[in-house]
Amino acid sequence: MKLLHIDSSISGPNSVTRSLTRQIVEQQRAAHPDLQVEYLDLASQAPGPLSLDALGFRLPPSAESLTDVQRRENEVSEALVTQLISADVVVIGAPLYNFTIPAQLKAWLDRVAQGGRTFKYTENGPVGLLGEKTVILALSRGGVYSTSDAGNAMEHQESYLKTIFGFMGVTDFRVVRAEGMDMGPESRERGLAQAQEDILALAA
């Protein structure tokens, strides 16, 4: 069994999501002694944003048709999508930045959302190809968004991640959510306590 552990927070040791993903991975190791874990820190290892040269994976595969820059960019995308496809479980730490996910995580998603690899188009529409995977999202938010219609409308973190992974065929989502992190000590304590309950529920 393989697990891909992804962090995207830029907050280093102060990151809530990094702490949550570590706990989740430790829990998974305890449940699966033979677990193989690969780690990707997008704060330091993020691919470049999608560009014309980085669209090499969408061009004809003939080596002669790609420039040296396109070939290098294609190698980056190929390594990332192969790593994702080989994982049985994906644990993603994603803080809420300006109502959405970190740019580094978006850059990774742009590289792995590949037609013919993680989804395909058919005469009946798109079909996701990652349906056998479990995706565990470890989310943090400065405010509280999940308890009101207005908050849900502003939140493009959990909703976006579920949408794009759902497009790629994933149906088994587990969510660990720490909200109210910047709303004072009591709110932070409540949010972290809820996240701990969410982590315990993963093992149920």
pLDDT in tens, 131-180: 999 999 999 999 999 999 999 999 999 999 999 999 999 999 999 999 99
What CA–CA distances, in Å, run from 63 to 75, 77, 172?
12, 15, 37
Q: pTM (2 decimals)?
A: 0.94
166 known member of a binding site: no
159 known member of a binding site: no
What letter does residue 138 receive in the DSSP assignment? E
Domains of the chain by range and CATH?
Answer: 2-202 (3.40.50.360)
The closest alpha carbon to 53, from 37, 39, 34, 66, belongs to: 66
pLDDT in tens, 2-45: 999 999 999 999 999 999 999 999 999 999 999 999 999 999 99
177 known member of a binding site: no
Question: Beta 119-122 vs 125-128: how paired, if at all?
Answer: antiparallel
Residue 46 burial (CB count, 10 A): 18
What letter does residue 50 receive in the DSSP assignment? P
141 known member of a binding site: yes
The closest alpha carbon to 181, from 166, 191, 195, belongs to: 191
Helices vs strands, H then E, count in the chain: 7, 7
Helices (H), the chain: 16-31, 42-45, 68-86, 103-112, 149-154, 158-167, 185-202
9 known member of a binding site: yes
Mean of pLDDT values over 58-81: 80
Phi, then psi, of 167 in degrees rounded to 5: -60, -35
Q: Is 146 exposed, middle or buried (0-12, 13-18, 19+ CB in 10 A)?
A: middle
